[in-house]
Amino acid sequence: MNDYQNIFQRKITALQQSNNYRYFLNVNKSARHFPFFYFDQQGETKRAINFCSNDYLGMSVDEEVISKLSFVLHQSGTGSGGTRNISGTTNHHQSLEQTIAAWHQKESALLFGGAYLANLTSLQTIGRHIKELIFISDERNHASIIEGIRNSGNSKVIFRHNDIQHLEELLQSLPADKPKMIVFESVYSMNGSIAPVKEIIRLAKKYNALTYIDEVHAVGLYGETGAGICEQENLLQEIDIINGTLAKAVGVIGGYIAASQTIIDFIRSYGSGFIFTTSLPPANCAAAEKSINLIQVQQQHRARMHGTVNYLRRLLEAEAIHFISNDSHITPVLIADAAKCKIIADKLLEQHGVYVQPVNYPTVPVGEECLRIIVTARHTREQVAQLVKNLKQVLLEESTHHMQKQPA
Ligand SMILES: Cc1ncc(COP(=O)(O)O)c(C=O)c1O
């Protein structure tokens, strides 16, 4: 007889032994005190500062967004009560889709429970309905993209991360008459690199491929109105499908794609992960739309965030703390050892009230374990200076400890 519990337990034990087991901290958010939060330590409630939230602009605690959510919540109730096709579409859903489409300069947009589901469903649906289509995917693409491509059952080729030359070699090697789609992200969530979007589009046009970009970590933060890297690079009209989230810089929940009316109608009509699931609550849609409207005109918040990121990097350099250099707002401090990464993060929290989540395999490849530092528009320079001071101290303690353990 199969001992199912034992099979599962062995899998868990393997993760624990490789230091890749995930521990969750209860980060009890405070709308009043963000980026501070509260957590329990040995029966006591403690306060700490969050340096790894993707609520980049602090929109989840914005008074106007909260008021909008609360107002529509009392008007419409908590849940939508249905799939989009069966009583789950409201004015708030339609209005949000129109706002998103206009933001990305596309004809239409489609809402999903999250950007993960949007990637999974869109890629899988396109692949399943164009059997000949070959996916050409960046090696660092997010799990939702990998799963979507895998689930389609279509052929795929992987190009080296942001490597235009390799991408062209692959495009050249594929049959010219076969349909193709290049799938990539604009800001890569873990190493913070930014894709050469213009070059990728140029190759897509040359080899007649569709383009699909995940702007999840760029939405709200780049471009005149915060629509992302494609807006910043003036490429919104050139890209075929844009994926984004309402859960990070927008501060609410949900995901979407924006594209031509025909592509959106196609996914709306055939996408299993769109059709057979309850739609987002109306109040969340209204709050997300409010947040986008604010983001579009509040350039000062993203400017402030980018300014604080630069400040953080100057301080890290001054302290000789090595981070992966990039042009985005994500600052990964490379530790390159899963166990050490966790020890440093634990010490930062327990001794200094600083929360930075260690990022380990499989989120990053083995050897690239890091502390992914995020400063939001709400962090002050004093808080950042304190973080660097604390980090320096913990890193020093760790290296002294390591040296003491080395044989003489
Ligand atoms: C690159 C990327 N795409 C998609 C997602 C999924 O977005 P969501 O949280 O809205 O499902 C994430 C992380 O959450 C991400 O990092």
CA 245–ligand 1 middle distance (angstroms): 7
By residue count, the chain amounts to: 408
Q: 53: helix, coil or strand?
A: coil
What is the model's pLDDT at position 405? 67
What is the model's pLDDT at position 400? 81
Could you tell me the CA-to-CA distances from 322 to 174, 196, 209, 319, 346 in Å, in that order? 40, 24, 39, 9, 19
Q: Assess contact for 114 and 255: CB atoms under 8 A.
A: yes
Along the chain (408 residues), what's the average pLDDT of each consecutive run of 10 residues?
91 90 92 97 94 98 98 98 98 98 98 98 98 97 98 98 98 97 96 97 98 98 98 98 98 98 98 98 98 98 98 98 96 93 95 93 88 97 98 92 65
User: Would you call the peptide bond into 362 cis, given omega within 30 degrees of 0 as the criterion?
Assistant: yes
For the question of residue 248 being annotated catalytic, the response is: yes
What is the model's pLDDT at position 100? 99
Could you tell me the CA-to-CA distances from 12 to 5, 8, 248, 342, 343 in Å, in that order? 11, 6, 29, 17, 20
CA 84–ligand 1 middle distance (angstroms): 22
End-to-end CA distance of the chain: 53
Q: Assess contact for 183 and 149: CB atoms under 8 A.
A: yes
Q: Which of 180, 248, 342, 347 is catalytic?
A: 248
Closest CA to 375 of 395, 350, 346, 355: 355
CA 138–ligand 1 middle distance (angstroms): 16
What is the model's pLDDT at position 159? 98
What is the model's pLDDT at position 19? 81
What is the model's pLDDT at position 20? 82
Q: What angle do CA 208, 210, 212 make, to 5 degrees?
A: 150
Q: What number does the ligand 1 atom closest to the CA of 118 have?
A: 11
Closest residue by Cα to atom 6, ligand 1, is: 116
What are the start-end ranges of the E strands in 113-178? 134-138, 156-159
